[in-house]
Amino acid sequence: MRIVVIGATSAIAEHCCREWLKQSPADLLLVARDTAKAQRIAQDLAVRSPASTIEVETVDFLDPRAIDALAERAAARPIDIVLIAQGVLPPQATLQDDLVQCRDTLAINALSPALFAEAFAARLARAGRGTVAIIGSVAGDRGRKSNYVYGSAKGLVARYAEGMQHRFAGTGVAVVLVKPGPTDTPMAATHRSAGLKLAPVEDVARDTVRGIAARRPVVYTPGRWALIMLIVRHLPRFVFNRLNI
C-alpha cells in the first residue's frame, strides 16, 4: 500500500502511520515543513516496520506550483491513500490582535489543505482509484467565540471535502473528512492547561485509519462528538449566545 502523508509531523498523522504499519509493511511518503522532525519520525517508523519504504520530502505548504509538482512526483507510483493533516492552533485572543498570525492560521488550516486535496485528487482521478482523507475538526461545525479563526478554517475544509465527495460520487476515488474532538497532542497544549478532557491520540488515529479503510464520508472521533455537535449545531441562537464556549 502506498500512502502519502501531508503534515507528517502532526501527532495524529504520526500515529496513523504507526497504525498502518501495524497492519502490514507500506510505502510511505512523509511530507512536512520541518525536515529534521520528519526525519526523526521516519527513523522511528522504519524501526517499527523494517520492511516498509519510508521517504521524506519538504515543500512550501502554500506554494501551488510546488504542491502540484510534489503531487506529480508522488503519483509516479500508484497512490492508495493521501492523508492531509497539517494544522496550527494559536490562542484565539492572539489571532484577534495579530492580523499576520490570523492570516497565517487561516492559510495553513484552510487554504493549504484545499490546495493539496486538489493536486492529489487530480492524480487519483487520472488513476481512477484512491482515497483523499482530510483532517478537519469538530470546531468547524459551528463558529464559537473561543476558537472562531481556527473553526472557520476547519469549516472551509468541511465544505471543500463535501464538494469533492459530490464530485467523485460513483467513481473509484473516495474523499474522507475526519473530525477529531480535542485530542491530546502538542497542538492542544492550551486545552490541556485549561483542564479540558482530551482524547488519547492513539484512539483518534485508530478511528481515523478505520474510517479511511471503510471510506466513510465523515468520521467523528471519538464517536460521541457526532451527537455533541449535532446538538451544538441545532441550538437556537438565543440559547447558543448565552453559552461560554
Residue 245: inside a domain = no
| β-sheet with 2-6: strand ranges across | 53-58, 27-32, 2-6, 81-84, 130-135, 173-180, 218-221
Residue 77: inside a domain = yes
Helix, strand or coil for residue 141?
coil
User: In this structure, is the dihedral angle defined by the CA atoms of residues 86, 89, 92 and 96, taken in order, positive or negative?
Assistant: negative
Vertex 15, ends 11 and 21: CA angle to 5°? 150
Per the DSSP assignment, residues forming a β-bridge with 219 are: 178
Which pLDDT does position 159 carry in this prediction? 98
Residue 148: inside a domain = yes
Tell me the three cell numbers of residue 137: 475538526
CATH number at residue 198: 3.40.50.720
Diameter of the chain by CA atoms?
57
Are the CB atoms for 84 and 132 separated by under 8 Å? yes
Q: Which parts of the chain register pLDDT below 70?
A: 189-195
Residue 231: inside a domain = yes
For residue 47, the enclosing domain spans: 2-240
Measured CA to CA, the distance from residue 231 to residue 17 in angstroms comes to 33
E strand map for 156-195: 173-180
Residue 235: inside a domain = yes
Residue 130: inside a domain = yes
Are the CB atoms for 179 and 225 separated by under 8 Å? yes
- How many domains, in total, are found in the chain? 1
Measured CA to CA, the distance from residue 46 to residue 49 in angstroms comes to 5
Give the residue among 184, 187, 168 at the shortest CA–CA distance from 85.
187
Which pLDDT does position 193 carry in this prediction? 55
Which pLDDT does position 76 carry in this prediction? 95
